[in-house]
């Protein structure tokens, strides 16, 4: 019985007591079931009696007594004790706890998935680095975290679209084009241009694809370098993301908004709603009405639209595509952007608290021998995604980037994340899965199979370490649910590390396979199911983080 299933049991007990007219209260939609800090207090505890006492007009311990009597009649409950002012400490029947292993193995990839976010259609925009160079390490963090959040949301039943916004219009693209042109002619990079060997590589590819390009006037060359260069850079970013295991459903071009007249339509719509005004030759959005520190320019005096105008058009486009909520992931250097974006959402007639979420992430530092690694062979000034993967591997990169809360700055120590030791967190978790895989292979070599779910005697699992592991496995669906709701994949990583430790302690205390001429017993089979269940959870948890679960290490 998982905590979620026990919640249903407790709620059913409340409904039964209410149905008999003993408690004049409404049956709560949800009840809280938690692991007690002291294992001697049972498997789980609930404060539902305390919550119901006031509306029922009765002392909490009296309410607890009524519910305890009802719960004790359930075949999956071994004991219910009333503690303190009215807490209910619940000990599960051994078979009910052991069924967690069977449920996990039977569900396989689906174990841990819920429908808590079913019906929600979310647009998750992340990375969105300008197509003017390789994805740097900050964008790499968003690639790992963003993809993990998408997987979490999907595991909770949400309909998620991963989207990459290409800022392929504007001044930064002009600088990129001038940098390519200069490289093609063997000149120094313009003062405001982009450096790095990749500029020369792309310039060479453009020239090779456009015979006679350098014979034209530079005025004619520039738009070619602009269009071709962006096309090549986007193709490289896409390839890099795919190699990193991150797939985007939509690659959205800012240029497409301009070509479709979406910016003008957005300004017109906001003007109709009374939030746009003209001043000093420019067109403004009155964002101060919605809490911004100052109004924002949509169209400059020279007639050029601002980036903010494109933001307005892009948000409206997402809503018109049917997304209930827009989730955007940005670096901490964009914190000043949050207020104006919330204001534009409100000006568009939406509720920022409902239809928008902006996540801000802190910086990432790459260290070697305790010293920052600053130079990239290719980008010239920053560490990029490929540098990180080359240094520690894709699995370690994704795990390291997702392991910390996004609001924390992190240091990635190359020495630590390349060690094949237990102080390397990703190795520690992956090794637990490989260890279980070895046990299951050895069992198969001995002719020992799991058999049918209905034949396994889970009541044989009575050892303290077995129960610790079962309870840990039962927490997995709740971990995924909370991580999805909080957009916090680091909770999954920390859970997996705790689970790996719990498994290792179980394995050290409880022999799984028979030795020599020993016979296979029901306990052998039950422990194999427990091992297989742990492997399922480790595999599913690593999968949420986009990390592989090796069977051999």
490-533 tens-digit pLDDT? 999 999 999 999 999 999 999 999 988 888 999 999 999 999 99
Whether pLDDT at 203 is above 80: yes
Is the sign of the CA dihedral 514, 520, 521, 523 positive or negative? positive
pLDDT-derived band at 380 (thresholds 50, 70, 90) equals: low
Encoded tokens for 521: 């017993």
How many whole angstroms separate alpha carbon 19 and alpha carbon 329? 48
Task: Name the pLDDT band for 378 (thresholds 50, 70, 90).
Answer: low
What mean pLDDT do residues 122-141 have?
92
134, burial (CB in 10 Å: exposed 0-12, middle 13-18, buried 19+): buried
| 51 contact partners, CB below 8 Å, separation of at least 6 | 28
Asked if 546 and 245 count as a contact pair (C-beta separation under 8 A), the reply is yes
Q: Is the pLDDT of residue 369 over 70?
A: yes
Please name which of 302, 286, 403 lies closest in space to residue 348, comparing C-alpha atoms: 286
- Among 18-27, 200-209, 386-395, the range with the most confident prediction by mean pLDDT is 200-209
One DSSP character per residue, 463-507 reads SHHHHHHHHHHHTHHHHHHHHHHHT-THHHHHHHHHHHHHHHHHH
Q: How many other CB atoms are there within 10 angstroms of residue 29's CB atom?
A: 6
Residue 278, helix vs strand vs coil: strand
Query: What's the length of the chain?
Result: 553
Instruction: Tell me the HSE value of 329 on the side-chain side, using a 13 A CA sphere.
Output: 29
Q: Give the tokens for residue 495.
A: 């859970």
CA distance 329 to 406: 10
Q: Is 184 a residue whose pLDDT tops 90?
A: yes
Q: What is the DSSP letter of 26?
A: P
Is residue 36 helix, strand or coil? Answer: coil
Q: How would DSSP label each residue in 47-66?
A: -HHHHHHHHHTS-HHHHHHH
Distance CA 124, CA 131 (A): 19
pLDDT bin (cut points 50, 70, 90) of residue 21 is confident
State in Å, rounded, how far the first CA of the chain is from the last one.
33
**Integer Cα distance of 103 and 98 in angstroms:** 9
**pLDDT(442) > 80:** yes
Inform me whether the pLDDT recorded for 485 exceeds 90.
yes
Q: Helices (DSSP H) in 273-423: which residue ranges?
A: 307-320, 337-347, 352-355, 385-392, 394-402, 414-417
3-state DSSP assignment of residue 265:
helix
Task: State the Cα–Cα distance between residues 316 and 305, nearest whole angstrom.
Answer: 16
Choice among 148-152, 202-206, 383-387 with the minimum mean pLDDT: 383-387
Per residue in 222-254, pLDDT (tens digit) is 999 999 999 999 999 999 999 999 999 999 999
* Number of Cβ atoms within 10 Å of the Cβ of 411: 14
Closest alpha carbon to 542 in 402, 390, 405 = 402
Distance (Å, rounded) from C-alpha 385 to C-alpha 367?
15
Mean pLDDT for the chain? 92
DSSP code of 442? H
Give, in order, the Cα–Cα distances in Å from 529 to each of 98, 220, 384: 9, 69, 43
Task: Grade residue 1 by pLDDT with cuts at 50, 70 and 90.
Answer: confident
What pLDDT was estimated at residue 144?
Answer: 96
Quote the DSSP letter at residue 305. B
Band of pLDDT at residue 372, cut at 50, 70 and 90: confident
Mean pLDDT of 169-194: 92
pLDDT value at residue 18: 85
User: Minimum mean pLDDT among 55-64, 234-243, 372-381, 427-436: which range?
Assistant: 372-381
Characterize the bridge pairing of strands 159-166 and 250-253.
parallel
Distances (CA, A) of 428 to 182, 334, 433, 494: 49, 35, 9, 12
- Burial per residue of 412-438, b for 16 or more beta-carbon CB atoms within 10 angstroms, e otherwise: bbbebbeeeeeebbbbbbbbbbbbbbe
Beta bridge partners of 163: 125, 250
Average pLDDT over residues 341-356: 96
Tokens of 247: 């797939």
Q: Is the pLDDT of residue 164 over 70?
A: yes
42: closest CA among 71, 12, 8?
Answer: 71
Beta strands at 296-299 and 87-92: parallel, antiparallel or unpaired:
unpaired
Element (H, E) at 263: helix 262-272
């Amino acid at each position: 019985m998982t905590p979620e299933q026990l919640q249903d049991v407790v709620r059913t007990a409340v409904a039964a007591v209410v149905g008999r007219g003993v408690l004049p209260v409404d049956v709560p939609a949800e009840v809280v079931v938690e692991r007690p800090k002291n294992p001697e207090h049972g498997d789980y505890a609930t404060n539902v009696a305390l919550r119901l006492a006031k509306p029922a007009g009765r002392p909490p311990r009296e309410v607890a007594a009524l519910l305890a009597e009802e719960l004790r009649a359930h075949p999956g409950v071994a004991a219910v004790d009333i503690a303190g002012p009215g807490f209910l400490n619940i000990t599960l029947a051994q078979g009910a706890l052991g069924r967690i292993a069977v449920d996990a193995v039977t569900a396989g990839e689906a174990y841990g998935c819920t429908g808590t976010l079913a019906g929600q259609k979310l647009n998750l925009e992340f990375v969105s680095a300008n197509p003017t160079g390789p994805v740097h390490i900050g964008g790499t963090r968003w690639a790992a975290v963003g993809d993990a959040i998408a997987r979490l949301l999907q595991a909770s039943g949400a309909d998620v679209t991963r989207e990459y916004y290409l800022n392929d219009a504007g001044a930064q693209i002009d600088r990129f084009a001038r940098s390519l042109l200069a490289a093609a002619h063997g000149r120094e990079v313009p003062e405001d241009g982009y450096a790095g060997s990749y500029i020369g590589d792309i310039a060479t590819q453009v020239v090779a694809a456009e015979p006679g390009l350098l014979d034209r006037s530079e005025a004619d060359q520039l738009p070619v370098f602009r269009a071709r260069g962006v096309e090549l850079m986007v193709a490289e970013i896409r390839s890099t993301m795919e190699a990193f295991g991150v797939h985007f459903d939509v690659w959205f071009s800012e240029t497409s908004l301009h070509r479709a007249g979406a910016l003008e339509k957005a300004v017109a719509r906001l003007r109709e709603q009374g939030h746009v005004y003209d001043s000093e030759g420019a067109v403004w959005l009155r964002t101060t009405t919605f809490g911004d520190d100052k109004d924002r320019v949509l169209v400059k005096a020279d007639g050029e639209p601002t980036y903010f105008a494109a933001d307005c058009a892009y948000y409206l486009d997402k809503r018109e595509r049917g997304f209930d909520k827009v989730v955007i992931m940005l670096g901490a250097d964009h914190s000043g952007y949050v207020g104006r974006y919330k204001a534009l959402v409100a000006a568009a007639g939406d509720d920022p608290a409902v239809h928008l979420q902006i996540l801000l992430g802190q910086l990432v530092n790459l260290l070697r021998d305790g010293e920052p690694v600053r130079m990239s062979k290719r980008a010239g000034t920053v560490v990029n995604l490929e540098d990180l993967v080359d240094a520690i591997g894709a699995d370690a990169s994704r795990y390291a980037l997702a392991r910390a809360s996004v609001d924390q700055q992190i240091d990635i120590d190359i020495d630590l994340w390349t060690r094949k030791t237990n102080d390397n967190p990703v190795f520690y978790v992956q090794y637990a899965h490989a260890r279980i895989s070895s046990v299951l292979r050895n069992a198969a070599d001995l002719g020992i199979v799991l058999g049918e779910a209905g034949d396994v005697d889970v009541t044989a699992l009575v050892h303290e370490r077995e129960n610790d592991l079962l309870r840990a496995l039962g927490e997995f669906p709740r971990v995924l649910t909370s991580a999805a709701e909080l957009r916090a994949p680091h909770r999954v990583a920390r859970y997996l590390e705790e689970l790996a430790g719990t498994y290792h302690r179980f394995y050290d205390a409880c022999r799984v396979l028979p030795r020599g001429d020993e016979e296979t017993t029901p306990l052998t089979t039950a422990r194999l199911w427990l091992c297989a269940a742990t492997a399922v959870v480790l595999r599913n948890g690593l999968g949420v983080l986009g990390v592989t679960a090796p069977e051999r290490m």
